[in-house]
Amino acid sequence: MIEILNPSEVARAKDTGALVADILQTLRSRTTVGTSLLDIDRWAESMIVDAGAQSCYVDYEPSFGRGPFGHYICTAVNDAVLHGLPHDYALADGDLLTLDLAVSLGGVAADSAISFIVGESKPPESVALISATERALSAGIAAAAPGARVGDISHAIGSVLREAGYPINTEFGGHGIGSTMHQDPHVSNTGRPGRGYRLRPGLLLALEPWIMADTAELVTDADGWTLRSATGCRTAHSEHTIAITDDGAEILTLPR
């Protein structure tokens, strides 16, 4: 289903997006060397509940996961890149952490992810990975104009990632979002311009370039959820929810 939101629904999506952004920034500021992934999950739960919002993850049970997710945020460390199931792991200096959060507020969902390095150590490979996903995300957003097509976004994202020298996996990518977290259209992280669904005002998209340093192959962790690089290399993931407007794309998941 491709859902086109009316102006009042888009206004509510802005509130949801701001909440997601604020929670992620708060979690980032609290996360230090020694922080447990389970602590991050508990902090996320508290902020979601206090805001009167609903988690999109706790009861999430897609075909690619093992049962309900059961947690409030995805926490992916180093070689983990997507759907990271929080567990009892204390973060170390130099760990590359991705936090991926989706909530619903007022009947509209928003989804965002940030990658950052914990502590004082800044491994160059990790810095480069994060930078590439952020640049690719900016390129995808710039391509998301009314009348453009999904393939234009995919091409813009893929061009940045490919120029940076990273393999691109097409199993998972961006997606439509609105009254539910995952909707059509699928937005691959590479593609041909001029192809796919034509963008219309009122369409919400979650764009999420993610990469692995030296492979495009994923493996599923023993927990049945966490997706890791097949070679054990480091990974990164950046995501924003945007709204297509008459004037272009508006980023909804920025802190207010």
Contacts of 237 (CB under 8 A, 6+ apart): 76, 81, 82, 98, 100, 113, 115, 133, 208, 209, 210, 211
Q: What structural domains and CATH numbers belong to the chain?
A: 7-251 (3.90.230.10)
Q: Which residues are annotated as a binding site?
A: 83, 100, 111, 175, 182, 208, 239
pLDDT in tens, 204-238: 999 999 999 999 999 999 999 999 999 999 999 99
Q: Which residues are annotated as a binding site for a divalent metal cation?
A: 100, 111, 175, 208, 239
Q: Which residues are annotated as a binding site for substrate?
A: 83, 182
Structure tokens at 205: 């998209």
pTM above 0.95, yes or no: yes
pLDDT in tens, 136-184: 999 999 999 999 999 999 999 999 999 999 999 999 999 999 999 999 9
pLDDT in tens, 11-66: 999 999 999 999 999 999 999 999 999 999 999 999 999 999 999 999 999 988 99
